[in-house]
Amino acid sequence: MKLKQLVTQYIVYRKSLGEKFTTSEIYLNIFCKSMKSSIDIKDITKKEINKFLYRNTTIIKSGWFSRFNALKGLYKYALARQYVKTIPLPYILPKYHQCFSPYIYSKSELKHIFSTALRYPKNKICTSPRTVQAVLVLIYALGLRRSEALAITIGDIDMRNSFVLINNSKFYKSRIVPFNKKIKLFLEKYLQWRIRHNQYYSSRSPLFLGKNGEILKADTLHGIFQQIRKKAGIYRNNSDFQPRIHDLRHSFAVHRLLIWYKKNKNINELLPILSTYMGHISIASTTRYLTITDELLKKAGEKFEKYFAGEKI
């Protein structure tokens, strides 16, 4: 069977089971594009598969395993239907490179990213800079996943009660995410900008549109963000793990914890609230976002010293 035909059939099958299948669908479509359009699934070689998996690098990141799992599912499906006789995937998996840690943007770096977003495009056919800035601000300010921000429709926003509805996100959960007056004003201005620029406006219309009025895609936003980050001069020295767009969500969690420490709040009582706000199924999921920074360590130390001295905290 032709690869493109098989991938389409397989994606439909997985979604018919009630799965979102978003990440694997993206990787399988990329795999199709990397092959010849007319290639048969049984003619794909191990060399071509390894090229797709490794992408000319020896450093194994989480993306390697996402690509591997997407292909593994496809080939198991093909094998069960006798489209292939063997599965040409590696039997021994490489060791995951565990030196990665999220990048926590400083407040000044965030301001620089948001201002640089208004100057990112090289030509007029790119996604509007105003849209790019708006989606980045919302991801950070509301601690959203990239996919959650891009899935927001105008009808999901309740300006009167100051919240946005996140529908069927990770683990098929929905939640209400409140926002403050500053974000409300920001959204009002953005919506007014949309109207002035004649962007399609209905309750079902995506809040963030890409070029030609199409929905802004996750991989497109990823590429745009990397341009902005480089232009803003934000990077890690001597590291293959450069700051990501997802680190905006990590930064939100750490900055929120810092605010609570500075206000002398009870962190143990507030962590479940943060967990719910971010759409996690457990506090353990939230704690993975709480990267220890120098400032956070200092504030935690100060609070412990007060506790040890018997002071009221």
Q: For residues 99-103, give the mean pLDDT.
A: 77
| pLDDT in the model for residue 40 | 95
Sheet of strand 157-158: strand arrangement: 157-158, 163-166, 175-178
Q: Which amino acid is at 109?
A: E
Taking all residues of the chain, what is their mean pLDDT, rounded to a whole number? 87
Give the tokens for residue 88: 């040409």
Dump pLDDT digits (tens) for 48-63. 999 999 987 777 877 8
Q: With cut-offs at 50, 70 and 90, classify the pLDDT of residue 169.
A: confident
Q: Residue 309 pLDDT > 60, yes or no?
A: no
Q: Residue 20 pLDDT > 90, yes or no?
A: no
Indicate whether 44 and 154 sit together in one domain. Answer: no
Q: Residue 98 pLDDT > 80, yes or no?
A: no
Total-model pTM:
0.73
Among 232, 264, 287, the domain-final residue is 232
Indicate whether 256 and 225 sit together in one domain. Answer: no
Classify the phi-psi angles of 146: left when phi > 0, otherwise alpha if psi is within -120 to 50, otherwise beta. alpha
CATH number of the domain bearing residue 162: 1.10.443.10
For residue 197, the SS3 value is coil
> Residue 254 in contact with residue 267, Cβ under 8 Å?
no
Does the residue 85 lie in any domain?
A: no
Does the residue 66 lie in any domain?
A: yes
Indicate whether 211 and 152 sit together in one domain. Answer: yes
Q: Count other C-beta atoms under 10 Å from residue 307's C-beta.
A: 11
**Quick one: which of 72, 87, 3 has its CA closest to 41?**
3
| pLDDT in the model for residue 313 | 47
For residue 202, the SS3 value is coil
Indicate whether 162 and 267 sit together in one domain. Answer: no
Among 199, 232, 265, the domain-final residue is 232
Among 232, 263, 287, the domain-final residue is 232
Q: Which amino acid is at 38?
A: S
Indicate whether 160 and 199 sit together in one domain. Answer: yes
Q: Count other C-beta atoms under 10 Å from residue 148's C-beta.
A: 23
| pLDDT in the model for residue 306 | 52
- CA dist 160 and 25 (Å) reads 37
Indicate whether 207 and 124 sit together in one domain. Answer: yes
For the chain, how many structural domains are there in total?
A: 3
DSSP 217-254: PHHHHHHHHHHHHHHHT---TT-S----STHHHHHHHH
Classify the phi-psi angles of 213: left when phi > 0, otherwise alpha if psi is within -120 to 50, otherwise beta. left
| pLDDT in the model for residue 307 | 44
Indicate whether 134 and 212 sit together in one domain. Answer: yes
Give the tokens for residue 211: 């070029």
Indicate whether 159 and 223 sit together in one domain. Answer: yes
| pLDDT in the model for residue 171 | 65
Among the ranges given (109-113, 131-135, 256-260), the one the predictor scored with the smallest mean pLDDT = 256-260
Q: For residues 256-281, give the mean pLDDT.
A: 89
**Quick one: which of 98, 40, 93 has its CA closest to 69?**
93
Q: Count other C-beta atoms under 10 Å from residue 285's C-beta.
A: 14
Indicate whether 76 and 160 sit together in one domain. Answer: no
Which residues are within 8 A (CB) of 246 and not within 5 positions of it... i.e. 6 or more apart? 102, 145, 146
Dump pLDDT digits (tens) for 190-246. 999 999 988 888 889 999 998 878 889 888 999 999 999 999 999 988 766 789 999
Does the residue 102 lie in any domain?
A: no
Q: Which amino acid is at 302?
A: E
Q: Residue 312 pLDDT > 60, yes or no?
A: no
Q: With cut-offs at 50, 70 and 90, classify the pLDDT of residue 295.
A: low
DSSP 104-160: ---HHHHHHHHHHGGG--SSTTSPPHHHHHHHHHHHHHTT--HHHHHH-BGGGEETT
**Quick one: which of 55, 278, 100 has its CA closest to 175?**
278
Q: For residues 171-200, give the mean pLDDT.
A: 92
Q: For residues 259-264, give the mean pLDDT.
A: 88
Q: With cut-offs at 50, 70 and 90, classify the pLDDT of residue 247.
A: very high
Burial of 259 (C-beta count, 10 Å sphere; 0-12/13-18/19+): exposed
Domain that holds residue 267: 247-308
- The top-scoring range by mean pLDDT among 19-28, 30-39, 66-75, 161-170 is 66-75
Percent residues over pLDDT 90 in the chain: 61
